[in-house]
Structure 1
């Protein structure tokens, strides 16, 4: 195949092929095994000298994707707090690729810029953030944390008379950054990328789970009363869905010179429901907030949002100019975040909020909260499972703990069961470490997920746990459970969720 221009006539056929295969894929995703059929693509690694054309390349890609793709868009993927793509979001995302807009400023795309402007306003309204805050769409929570903490870094420098973006750190002392043990790796990565030092973050934890020590926070701020300090508060611990007490942290911070950033990647959605809104009480008094869109909003990867109270700090951190870029009084979203070449991610956000509205997103969040409570109750009812944390939102943290099994082998046992869960593929979630224990932490955020899907979580873990026990070495067998507890029998075939 020579110059791509010679492939022009195949454009419609290429789109039809992709659409038809997407329909087949999505039609079966609710009941498909989540794990890939094979471990990876088999394509040659050498760059071809001669191309095979669009239709042949797409056919090859489709075959590989069918074999090697994790069904992460489906209802039983409970790993990593990942949503899927609603019909409105997926359709809009296809349009974003078709239109191929650069959402840098109003000259490059007035359409994408206006949609981002509207989407940011709608998102602030959705989460209960003040309308005067600035905001920008990013690639995800990592870059939303990055943008928010870049604004915090600018504030910190200016508090000490230094414009960091213009002059660098210029001999400034290290930044004091405080958080709880709940701080997420994406925030730590953002801190590292900003040159602030991930190992300089002080985790003020009062227990092994990572809950914040408010007395220690107040003490550190008193010691540094003349110094600007940045606090990272966490709305939604990735292991349990627990929350730092935002209102208490903000009350302490306001007595000192402190910037409070809230990492609310998925937990910020608690603000949508009266059932969970108390978990983010005080949010409107923060200085910056980060949230993910490809988690609970269920827009396709990638999508995140950064919000900052004082617009000048966000603009000052990322402002850029050149004669060829033009000038406009309206916000250039490419100057409010790290990227200047930007996909029009606002299309999927706008379409989702326009299609389902506040009440629709709230209904989904509340459904997922109920499903998480359902799983928590099933864990509590099982004699060989142990719930390790309160189910506060949409994450259930538990482990397999059969009666009589040696305590010092439980971590290894649960790691093995975690591997078996991924190999089994009926449901999909991994292990973590919480309060010194290896545990499972399935997270429920996918718009497709129903009761039959979450019911497989406990069923699968108990079945695979019993199988792992049976394969354990001599002397490691669990003591017989009570007759009432019973032991789940391995099914003759893969269980299907009831709908």
Structure 2
């Protein structure tokens, strides 16, 4: 039997299929629905089904494979039909950008080259690309040169990385080397935030062993705006250091904490300021919105996510640290003969002890590429810097500023269309790229609007022409479309409003008299 792994013709055919499928699929995104529920039946073919060679009755691993070409054909046929087409211009659910052409080509290249971006020794190319990409990101956001950074899989991991470093800083104030000795000897770490704190920050604290409910929330209203006087009173009460979480770009309406005021408080009371800027950090890219992140250049750590507004593929989070030597102090691996680290012949990578401790002295960051496995939670790492480097190199600062400003304009267009529609109600200002609104037909009683909007959200996802989910804002069920995809146009925004109003009319038809009065 011929080993199928060495069948060059089959491998060439599989790769050719992907290349030939790419252009028609990308060209179709402007016109196809975001999701077609009628394609769900195709998913059965992933483990066996019509046109597929026989499979065990439980859909388990086949004894004999179908070959690369046949499997690639099946994956493309199913995937291009049954996927949620989030790369397209009408996916407004969550906050998910598209993929620029340069980023897509670079992501394919990353898979082709299959680099392990853990160490300089494993890939000088990946290490250098990451160093340059991180420097360019810092410059894109206007952060001071003192900041260092690392790439991580997601905004959750960016929060995890930042809050892990904050934990080590906090333990250091108690003269504990938490990398070596853990948290057992320490009191509970105080973490304070306004009501915009995101679930990913709670999850990060949960993974770090602090507990997701350790966050003390001080909100001035039901929306979640930070009660800054209450936060200051709590800081004054504490007998030791604390961690503040500021939020740049709240997920329901795109609002911002007053980062500069939080930075003042952090300096006054010796606290660590972490800013969750998963998508809101991109406000810094445009002079029109840069004031929203005033003071962010004084944060100790910042979390961001490039697959949102930078429009690169998953997984592309990043964390900035004002004191970057704290990254290897937190994430450095214990000495191992075959890996860079203390005493290793492969390099002089730092160990896990904190900077300035009696156990080790942390060397300064080198001028060139570093061993990034020692600067974040992952050891083996995909070369995720390639798409980031490529899109920044291809379109530059101006290209990304124009993209952000186009989407700012689209958000304002949507807000205006909502305001003009008699059956829709906007619930919040639109400082950035999210428009929070709900269906509110005049003939529907106020106490029935939440249920109507829940049904509307489900209907939108089932309909699939546009994709928008629901949230609860100020105690009211609402929609919160986020506009961050480079492909989105005015026509897509207009279609969103048309589809929403069409479904509202279907779900809550107006009585004849009410319809006449509305006109």
Same fold (TM over 0.5): yes
| Alignment correspondent of 1:6 | 6
Query: After TM superposition, where is structure 1 displaced by more than 3 Å over at least 4 residues in a row?
Result: 1-5, 476-479
Paired residues for 1:107-146 under 5 Å: 107-146=121-160
> SS at the partner of 1:460?
helix
| Structure 1 residue 481, shift from structure 2 partner | 4.8
Does structure 2 conserve the Cα–Cα contact (< 8 Å) formed by 1:148 and 1:306? yes
Aligned to 1:480: 514
Residue 38, structure 1, aligned to residue 39, structure 2: yes
SS of 2:96 mapped into structure 1:
coil
* SS of equivalent to 2:121: coil
Alignment of structure 1 residues 61-210 onto 2, 5 Å: 61-210=75-224
- Give me the whole-angstrom Cα distance separating, in 1, the residues matched to 2:513 and 2:220: 35
SS of equivalent to 1:305:
strand
Identify which range, 298-307 or 310-319, moves more after superposition.
Answer: 310-319
3-state DSSP class of the match of 2:66?
A: coil
Look up the match of 1:442. 481
Determine the structure 1 residue equivalent to 2:440.
401
C-alpha contact (below 8 Å) 1:250/1:285 kept by paired residues: yes
Match of 1:58 in 2: 72
Classify 1:209/1:2 alpha carbon distance in 2 versus 1 (closer, same or farther; 3 Å): farther
Aligned residues: 479
> What is the alpha-carbon distance in structure 1 between the residues aligned to residue 471 and residue 197 of structure 2?
15
Gaps of 5+ in 1: 471-475, 487-499
Distance in 2 between residues matched to 1:202 and 1:456, nearest whole Å? 41
CA shift in 2, pair 1:109/1:482, >3 Å: same
Please say if residues 104 and 332 of structure 1, whose CA atoms lie closer than 8 Å, have aligned partners that are also in contact. yes
Residues 423, 441 of structure 2: 8 Å contact kept: yes
Residue 482 of structure 1, CA deviation:
5.9
The 1:340/1:256 distance shift into structure 2, 3 A limit, reads same
Q: Is the 8 A contact 2:168 2:330 kept in 1?
A: yes
Q: Which segment is superposed worse, 88-97 or 329-338?
A: 329-338
3-state SS in 2 of match to 1:290: strand
**What is the alpha-carbon distance in structure 2 between the residues aligned to residue 83 and residue 373 of structure 1?**
18
Question: 1: CA distance between counterparts of 2:158 and 2:516?
Answer: 50
Secondary structure, counterpart of 1:209 in structure 2: coil
What is the match of residue 285 of structure 1?
Answer: 298
Residues 146, 194 of structure 1: 8 Å contact kept: yes
* Bigger mean CA offset, 226-235 vs 32-41: 32-41
Report 1:384-423 matches (<5 A): 384-423=423-462
Structure 1 residue corresponding to 2:264, chosen from 243, 251, 255 = 251
Q: Post-superposition shift, 1:134? A: 1.4
Match of 1:303 among 312, 316, 325: 316
Mapping for residues 232-247 of structure 1, pairs under 5 Å:
232-247=245-260
After superposition, the Cα gap between the structure-2 partners of 1:221 and 1:21, relative to the gap in structure 1 and judged at 3 Å, is same
After TM superposition, the score normalised by the length of structure 1 is 0.94
Change (3 A) 1:417 1:477: farther
- The CA distance in 2 between the partners of 1:20 and 1:440, in whole Å, is 37
| Counterpart position of 2:336 | 322
Instruction: Tell me the equivalent position of 2:497.
Output: 458
Q: Tell me how far apart the structure 1 counterparts of residues 3 and 204 of structure 2 sit (CA, whole Å).
A: 41
Would you say the 8 A contact 2:11–2:69 is kept in 1? no
CA deviation vs aligned residue, 1:42-61 (integer Å, no higher than 9, x gap) = 12231111111100111111
**Deviation string, structure 1 residues 83-123 (Cα, Å, up to 9, x no partner):** 01100000000000000000011100000000000000010
Task: Check 1:477–1:246 CA distance in 2 against 1; reply closer, same or farther (3 A cut).
Answer: farther
- Corresponding residue to 2:392 among 332, 353, 368: 353
Preserved CA contact (<8 Å) 2:14 2:73:
no
Tell me if 1:433 matches 2:497. Answer: no
The one-character-per-residue Cα deviations of 1:51-91 (angstroms, maximum 9, x if unpaired) are 11100111111121123101110000001110011000000
Q: Retained in 2: the 8 A contact 1:403–1:479?
A: no
Report the aligned-residue RMSD: 1.5
- Aligned to 1:480, the other structure's residue is in SS state helix
Give distance in 1, aligned partners of 2:6 and 2:113: 21
CA distance in 1, matches of 2:286, 2:513: 44
Q: Which moved more, 1:271-280 or 1:163-172?
A: 163-172
Q: Is 1:338 aligned to residue 377 of structure 2?
A: yes
Quick check: 2:163–2:204 contact (8 Å CA) kept in 1?
Answer: yes
Q: CA offset at residue 477 of structure 1?
A: 6.1
Matched position secondary structure for 1:294: helix
**CA–CA separation in structure 1 for the residues paired with 2:285 and 2:470:** 29
**1:337 Cα offset (Å):** 0.8
Q: Tell me the CA shift for residue 2 of structure 1.
A: 6.0
Q: Secondary structure at the match of 1:386?
A: strand
**TM-superposed deviation, 1:200:** 1.4
Structure 2 Cα separation of the partners of residues 31 and 178 of structure 1: 46
